[in-house]
Amino acid sequence: MIDIRAHRDWRRLLRWLPLVLIPVSLLASTYPGQYRVPPHYWLLAMTAALVFLAGARRPLVVSIVLSALAVPMLRTDAWGVSGLAPYLGAVALVDVVARTHRWSTVAVATAGWAAAVTLGRVGMHDNSIGRASTLVEAAAYVGLPLLLGLYLRGQRDLAENLRVRAEEAQARTRLDERAALARELHDVVAHHMASIVLRTSVAGHVVREADPRVLAVLDDVRATAADALADIRRLLAALRDPALGTVALVDTDAVTTEVEAALTRVRAAGFTVVTEIDTDLGGLDAISRLTLLRLVQESSTNVMKHADRTVPVRFTIIRRQGAITIEVLNGTREAATAPPGHGIVGMRERAELAGGTLTVGTGADGEETWTVRAQLPDSARKGGLS
């Protein structure tokens, strides 16, 4: 990939280059007792170098000014490399032509430089060949910068066209991959989840007269599978929509409800749950809402799978100082030195994609407690939302 910032730094450096080269060339052309660069030539040349710095913002104005400054310099009897100073106007013409597609701007810059070359060189040759030589010089000094500018503009347009095509091809590839993933989710995962919901419902009807605790478990399984199926359908809609940012994967009003549902499942599994949850969780963008909810759900799942039921579980979700802090503290019945599973890896990736951080580890008392702590940027507060 092309480093655009490095390219811009080089262009900025080239803008300052005449301020170094012009005084060096003027000093190199000064020989005491033989030839000295006139003071007015020094003044004009250094002024041209300073004006050239503004070419990035006002290329046409800079080109016209440099053309005007070139006339008296061209008519001054310069010797050696000092005679190159007026041709900074030719460089400015190249810059104008390379940066614009407006032919009127190109015409004005070209006419200005052509007039400068003509006025600066007319009468400077022997009368027998004066006119022809002036015309030849004007054609060369104007035509070559014009052609170089057109070439550079063509190369820039070609690079931009290739960049756009590469982005379009990459976007098409991503769309194809998302469509393929959506098909797999629909054909495999969503189908099985729907089957689980249906079979659980049938089982509830079959064992209607059974122990109420069995019915409660079946209802919980059915509700959990139904929620998972709804999440999959939202994800399918997002994968099939090219504008992912316009899809609300989790509704704003549903964040608190979904968090409470996750905590209810933890309580139903036999855990004592202590909560400290900020009631103001509205206004978050889609990515922040989804990330917050998935971190809570994954943490609650890990608690039910690995935590000690005799130790209370503490869920904390606090929103303050431009950030949202999510903390889950629970007792663990497994060795804390065990390598983290895919769930922890996925949680960390989610947090980082949302611009946040995730830390996991044992508490102050070694392996007896386990802490998951995530911090997400508060997109609503940063954006000035209420």
**282-315 pLDDT, tens digit each:** 667 667 788 888 889 888 888 888 888 888 999 9
Q: Cα–Cα distance between 126 and 128 in angstroms, integer?
A: 6
Structure confidence at residue 94 (pLDDT): 92
Q: For the residues 76-93, what does the mean pLDDT come to?
A: 86
Within-domain flag for 257: yes
* Cβ partners under 8 Å of residue 241, min gap 6: 247
Tell me if 254 is assigned to some domain: yes
Residue 68's pLDDT is what? 92
Q: Is residue 319 part of a domain?
A: yes
> What pLDDT does 7 receive?
52
109-131 pLDDT tens trace: 999 999 998 888 776 654 545 56
In a domain, residue 65? The reply is yes
Could you tell me the pTM of the whole model? 0.48
Alpha helices in the chain (DSSP H): 4-28, 39-52, 59-74, 88-99, 103-121, 130-184, 191-206, 212-240, 254-268, 286-306, 342-353, 379-382
Residue 374: the pLDDT is 92
pLDDT at 4: 46
Any domain includes 115: yes
Give the model's pLDDT for residue 246: 44
Least confident of 1-5, 39-43, 295-299: 1-5
**pLDDT of 343:** 74
**What band does 137 get if pLDDT is binned at 50, 70 and 90?**
confident
Query: What phi and psi values does residue 311 have, to the nearest 5 degrees?
Result: -105, 125
The rounded distance, in Å, linking the Cα atoms of 256 and 111 is 69
Q: What is the pLDDT of residue 20?
A: 87
Q: Say what the pLDDT of residue 195 is.
A: 76
Of 69, 98, 121, the residue that ends a domain is: 121
Q: Specify the amino acid at residue 73.
A: M
In a domain, 218, yes or no: no
For residues 322-349, give the mean pLDDT.
Answer: 74
List the alpha helices (DSSP H) in 185-285: 191-206, 212-240, 254-268
Contact 239, 207 (CB under 8 A): no
The CATH number that applies at residue 375 is 3.30.565.10
The Cα angle at residue 359 between residues 355 and 363, in degrees rounded to 5: 155
Paired residues of 170 in beta bridges: none
pLDDT for the residue numbered 62: 92
Q: What angle do CA 255, 257, 258 make, to 5 degrees?
A: 65
Beta bridge partners, 315, equal: 275, 328
Residue 90 covered by a domain: yes
Do the beta carbons of residue 64 and residue 108 sit within 8 Å?
Answer: yes
* Counted domains in the chain: 2
User: Residue 334 is which amino acid?
Assistant: E
Q: Are strands 366-377 and 357-363 parallel, antiparallel or unpaired?
A: antiparallel
* pLDDT tens digits, 339-367: 555 678 878 887 887 788 999 887 655 55
Contacts of 385 (CB under 8 A, 6+ apart): 283
User: Does residue 244 have a pLDDT over 50?
Assistant: no
Give residue 3's pLDDT.
Answer: 47
Q: State the chain's mean pLDDT as an integer.
A: 79
The answer to whether residue 270 scores a pLDDT higher than 50 is yes
Higher pLDDT, 250 or 12: 12
Where a domain ends, among 102, 121, 140?
121
Note the pLDDT of residue 65: 93
Contact 275, 263 (CB under 8 A): yes
Q: For residue 233, is it within any domain?
A: no
Range of the domain at 307: 248-382
Boundary (domain end) residue, out of 63, 87, 121: 121
Tokens (6 digits) for 27: 């000093």
Q: What pLDDT was estimated at residue 205? A: 76
